[in-house]
Amino acid sequence: MRRDIQALIDLGKATEAIGTALFAASDGMFHLWHRYQPGKLDVARLTAEVVPVQDRWKVLAAQALAHDHKKARALGRDLLRHRVSLGTLLDHPGAKPTNNHAQRDVRPTVIQCKTNGGTGGALGVAFVANLQSVIVTAKRQHKRVLDWLQTVFVARCSDPPTPMLLPMPTG
């Protein structure tokens, strides 16, 4: 997400202002998380302080969605679609605000797919990368990958809630 925001800034004057504002809001979220991790903030204080940051994100995402530039509009649409994810840190205190570990885990697979041309294009690369991310995350949580995937598919086709790979809240 920050790469997409930086790309808006780099496009120049047309998108620089909205990109800079989004980057500042992103910095605010990371600042809160970095204060929370070593115990400088408790959950109640984090919850109170994150609400204005989430509200700012919503306003900025709406501004991006109404922007003249198509890349700003696309980012605004993505931010609004995924704004609930900003609360993940509150619901799942073990969650991190980045996907750096996941990106590192899937990078070799993505590179192999791109160099082999064995995925049928960009959609195939994305599919393999997403599947690899699920596999690595499930393994880190000591879940049997095929059993977990079967549970997901069965739940998707029936009433039980779809199982999640997010860390479960403790306490």
Residue 61: partners with Cβ closer than 8 Å, 6 or more residues away:
76, 79, 80, 83
Is residue 162, in this structure, part of any structural domain at all?
Answer: no
Q: What is the mean pLDDT of each run of 10 residues along the chain (171 residues)?
A: 89 92 89 78 82 88 93 91 70 68 73 71 77 82 88 80 66 53
Is residue 20, in this structure, part of any structural domain at all?
Answer: yes
Output the pLDDT for position 65: 92
d(CA 75, CA 56) in angstroms, rounded, equals 15
* Domain match, 76 and 104 both: no
Output the pLDDT for position 70: 94
Output the pLDDT for position 133: 78
d(CA 155, CA 53) in angstroms, rounded, equals 34
Output the pLDDT for position 19: 93
Output the pLDDT for position 136: 81
Is residue 17, in this structure, part of any structural domain at all?
Answer: yes
Is residue 163, in this structure, part of any structural domain at all?
Answer: no
> What is the tally of structural domains in the chain?
2
Output the pLDDT for position 118: 65
Is residue 150, in this structure, part of any structural domain at all?
Answer: yes
Residue 117: partners with Cβ closer than 8 Å, 6 or more residues away:
none
